Structure 1
Amino acid sequence: MDPKARVLDLGYAAGWRLVRALPRRWALGLFGIAADRAARGGGPVQLRRNLARVLSIAPAQVPDELVRASLRSYARYWCEAFRLPSMDPVWLTERVESSATGLEHIHEAAERGRGAVLALPHSGNWDVAGVWLVRRVGAPTVVAERLEPESLFRRFVRFREHLGFEIIPLTGGTTPPFEQLVARLRQGRMVGLLGERDLTGAGVPVTFFGEPARMPAGPARLAIETGAPLLPVHCWFTPDGWGFQVGEPIDTARGVQHTTQALADRFAADIAAHPADWHMLQPLWTADFTGDRIARRHTHRKPSP
């Protein structure tokens, strides 16, 4: 293994052990300090650009406090990810049910035996929502982006398998992910997909916050292929917990492009309501990609939420 990759892997392993051993308040405090340091000097340029689209202002006009809050939210996600395997799943399930709206859409899909495609943006803590699914509906099937190094990818797979998820790798599997996901939906299973970031460069053209972007075709294609409802899901943080919202099924009758645009519109409304909890530090809009960045979409990735 490359020495830098090994250091990265060992760093995550040490973090998992250390953060679980610390009291929650101390762990969140340490991650908050790291976020505040990252926010100095205006914070990550791409995060500021992305938030500017959400607010319909120039990047320089994005409030520094919003950038700081976004980085703190991102740090909280990672802190909770490290601690989640040791948290009480019964308590987590009850907390989700006390704050979530629209859970009846998931229950209805499960009762009809058709499964559902749950499409989410990179917001809040979707792993906690997955714990609720495991406890109340059944193990969700999710697609995992392959990370570098391979040992770190396997570590994240084990983490989510420990939570009760079924993991399908985005690349490198023996069967294409789409075929496996179709099979799971036809078995009445729930499929969860992070749906606003296109990793291939060949996604569906959409207008997102008034600008051209591309989004994955997978959520729409799966719903159209199987007849399973396409449910937009949004997650965000509250001061002492989490907020979750499951929207009404998106109409898929007009094809992949129209369905993906409708999903993008739903994502935009939800992100605008909780901009600080949208963890998008990577380029997403067409204008932010150059030829070399597009080429790098096809390479293995380092960790992102």
Structure 2
Amino acid sequence: MISTYKLFQLGLKIAPRLPVWLGNGLSDMAGTLIYGLIPAKRRAVLCNLAHAIPDRPISERHRVARAIFRNGMRNYYDMLRVHALTREERLAQIELHNLEYVYEAFKQGKGILGIAAHQGSFSFIPQIATAVNFDFYLVVEPIKPPELFELVRKLREEDPRSHTIAVGGSEVRTIFRALKGNNMVCMAIDRDVIGNGQPLTFFGAEAKLPVGVAEIALRTGVPIMPILPYHTPDGRHGVQFTPSFVVEPTGDKAADIARISSLMLRKIEEMIRLSPEDWVVLQPIWPDC
């Protein structure tokens, strides 16, 4: 049986040759099939959406769930083709909104902690570094097998100002070093990837989520900036920056971490509600899911 790594290598050869309309169309078909054929994933997504958008009718949540699966497959297609695009072609694929918030936050000289949900295309988010004049660090979940992770990392680091940091190792030192250099470090905080999360309130219910970002913000005083990546109606990729905020320590570390985490999660909830179709999380977030 062919390995995931070999399939990925094959995809790297095929995907760039496809017209985008065809690649997106095939991705949508694959996403719809997976939605129908893997009930465990479908149930997890629908349960997550019941927490995130409970006011929407069940039929609407099913529509959003199908869109999530389609966007997830489009994200894989993007990952397989972006390496073959020229700088100009990559720039034409993204639109950045409210960059003034980024430049204003950089004036503090402490770097920026970008926070997001697993939304939009994480293959095109690093293209921020291509569009603007600063280094961009994306904190990611390590992929198995290791050789596949290294291949994906190289693809994401096509631009010399785009960097990948894997969780589960010495990432904290790398993050501190990047922030000290006044760069942007972006990470998703809506899922407990490595299993060391703490119980936090998310969409009104308790879920285990990471608190590392809150700890870093508390130690450094770095500006925290919520970021919304999303797919545009014309098939491109948007990134919306929002005003940053800085948290001040009170001397009670545990209370401060809880307070900062709560502030960040309220922002992330807003982002997900704005574009639930882009919330590509196929794993259950809450215990009841």
Q: Same fold (TM over 0.5)?
A: yes
* Counterpart for residue 168 of structure 1: 165
Q: Taking structure 1 as reference, are residues 94 and 114 closer, same or farther at Cα in structure 2, changes over 3 Å only?
A: farther
Determine which of 95, 101, 124 is the counterpart of 1:128.
124
Determine which of 48, 51, 54 is the counterpart of 1:53.
51
* Counterpart for residue 103 of structure 2: 107
**1:76 shift after superposition:** 1.4
In the alignment, is residue 219 of structure 1 matched against residue 213 of structure 2? yes
1:50 aligned counterpart, secondary structure = helix
Q: Taking structure 1 as reference, are residues 160 and 95 closer, same or farther at Cα in structure 2, changes over 3 Å only?
A: closer
Determine which of 173, 180, 189 is the counterpart of 1:179.
173
CA contact (8 A) 1:120 1:192 kept: yes
Q: Which amino acid aligns with 2:244?
A: P
Q: Taking structure 1 as reference, are residues 71 and 269 closer, same or farther at Cα in structure 2, changes over 3 Å only?
A: same
* Counterpart for residue 86 of structure 2: 88
User: CA–CA distance in 2 between the matches of 1:150 and 1:270?
Assistant: 32
- Unpaired runs of 5+ residues, structure 2, are 250-255
Determine which of 222, 225, 229 is the counterpart of 1:231.
225
Q: Taking structure 1 as reference, are residues 77 and 61 closer, same or farther at Cα in structure 2, changes over 3 Å only?
A: same
Q: Which amino acid aligns with 1:50?
A: N
In the alignment, is residue 261 of structure 1 matched against residue 262 of structure 2? yes
User: CA–CA distance in 2 between the matches of 1:25 and 1:262?
Assistant: 40
User: CA–CA distance in 1 between the matches of 2:52 and 2:165?
Assistant: 31
In the alignment, is residue 247 of structure 1 matched against residue 248 of structure 2? no
**1:144 shift after superposition:** 3.0
* Counterpart for residue 190 of structure 1: 184
- Sequence identity percentage: 24
Determine which of 203, 209, 223 is the counterpart of 2:203.
209
**1:73 shift after superposition:** 1.4
**1:9 shift after superposition:** 0.6
2:158 aligned counterpart, secondary structure = helix
**1:214 shift after superposition:** 2.4
TM-score (normalised: structure 1): 0.83
* Counterpart for residue 253 of structure 2: none
1:284 aligned counterpart, secondary structure = coil
CA contact (8 A) 1:250 1:263 kept: no
In the alignment, is residue 21 of structure 1 matched against residue 17 of structure 2? yes
2:157 aligned counterpart, secondary structure = helix
Q: Tell me the alpha carbon deviations over residues 166-211 of structure 1, each in whole angstroms, 9 at most, x when there is no partner.
A: 2232235xxx211221121111121111221112333243211111
Q: Which amino acid aligns with 2:263?
A: A
Q: Which amino acid aligns with 1:114?
A: K
Pairwise mapping of residues 39-50 of structure 1 onto structure 2 (< 5 A)?
39-40=35-36, 44-50=42-48
